[in-house]
Amino acid sequence: MLKILVNGAKGKMGQTVVAAVQADAELELAGQTDAGDDLAAAIKKSGAQIVVDFTQPSARLANVRTIISSGADAVVGTTGFTEEDLKIIDAESKKLKRAVLIAPNFAIGAVLMMQFAAQAAKYLPSVEIVEYHHDHKADAPSGTALKTAQLINEAVGQTAPPAVESKEFLPERSQGARLGNIRIHAVRLPGFVATQEVMLGALGQRLVLRHETINRESFMPGVLLACKKIGGKAGLIYGLEKIL
């Protein structure tokens, strides 16, 4: 049985991961930690082989470093990682011969949406993203929206800019934040878990790719698969699609 420690275990995702690990015959729940606990000591004491981390964007890098330097592999859903963070993690995890899988979204449908969006943008290069989340979310735009925009920009080079720059009448950008020419709009409202629309417009037509997450169990098959697949690897694996 693979020994799993859940970091952020008191949180919305942490609690769901604890239940999913307990229900899986191939996995053993070795420990649970949250803010204020000594993560390194808990890993060593429990003999955990893998730490699943769903915590806070502000704690993202420190947690991964603690996990791999304490002798465990990491499956990370926490958002907020920058390009620089990812380079650091890849280098440090290779040196320590540990695997770190970071996925901005563990729901298979969301992974497909991102792939389809990157494909579609090659033919429909005017793109905007609208993401909708619960109003307790710590970060904006979502990790999924950022990854989607990155994948599209990688696939297309540069998407099309809007035909004109509309004048803004409020100091905040009512037309969204931008990654390249892709505008990203973040809605925060009670009543959502996570939804994302990628809108691709062209003359007289629109393609809308919409993924809806209605509960946090949706992320669990991806998290459990990651726990079972990363053993024996070294370095950073960025995105669930890399192990599907």
Ligand X SMILES: O=C(O)C1=N[C@H](C(=O)O)C[C@H](O)C1
Sole residue written with tokens 């720059």: 165
Report whether 211 belongs to an annotated binding site.
Answer: no
CB 83 within 8 A of CB 102: no
Q: Cα separation of 174 and 240, whole Å?
A: 32
Q: Cα separation of 177 and 174, whole Å?
A: 9
Give the footprint of ligand X on residues 157-186 (CB under 6 A): none
Which parts of this chain interact with ligand NAI (CB under 6 A)? 7-8, 10-14, 33-35, 54-57, 59, 63, 77-79, 103-106, 143, 219
Question: Which C-beta is closer to ligand X: that of 125 or that of 222?
Answer: 222
* Residue 36, CA atoms < 13 Å, CB-side half-sphere: 1
What's the Cα-to-Cα distance from 43 to each of 6, 31, 48, 73, 195, rounded to whole Å?
10, 8, 5, 11, 34
Question: Which C-beta is closer to ligand X: that of 14 or that of 104?
Answer: 104
Question: Is there binding between residue 144 and ligand X (CB under 6 A)?
Answer: yes
Which of ligand X, ligand NAI, none does 133 bind, CB closer than 5 to 8 A by kind?
A: ligand X
Give the footprint of ligand X on residues 96-135 (CB under 6 A): 104-105, 133
Report whether 143 belongs to an annotated binding site.
Answer: yes
Q: Cα separation of 65 and 68, whole Å?
A: 5
Q: Which residues are catalytic?
A: 133, 137
Dmax (CA) of the chain: 62
What's the Cα-to-Cα distance from 102 to each of 9, 81, 210, rounded to whole Å?
18, 9, 23
Question: Is there binding between residue 142 and ligand X (CB under 6 A)?
Answer: yes
Name the segment binding ligand X (CB under 6 A); options: 68-76, 138-146, 156-164, 198-206: 138-146
For 189, the token pair is 């409202």
Question: Which C-beta is closer to ligand NAI: that of 29 or that of 200?
Answer: 29
* Residue 94, CA atoms < 13 Å, CB-side half-sphere: 9
Least distance CB 167 / ligand NAI (angstroms)? 33
- Residue 183 pairs in a beta bridge with 128, 178
Residue ranges for the known binding site for (S)-2,3,4,5-tetrahydrodipicolinate are 134, 143-144
Residues lying near ligand X in the complex (CB under 6 A) are found at 79, 104-105, 133, 137, 142-144, 194
Residue ranges for the known binding site are 8-13, 77-79, 103-106, 134, 143-144
Residue ranges for the known binding site for NAD(+) are 8-13, 77-79, 103-106
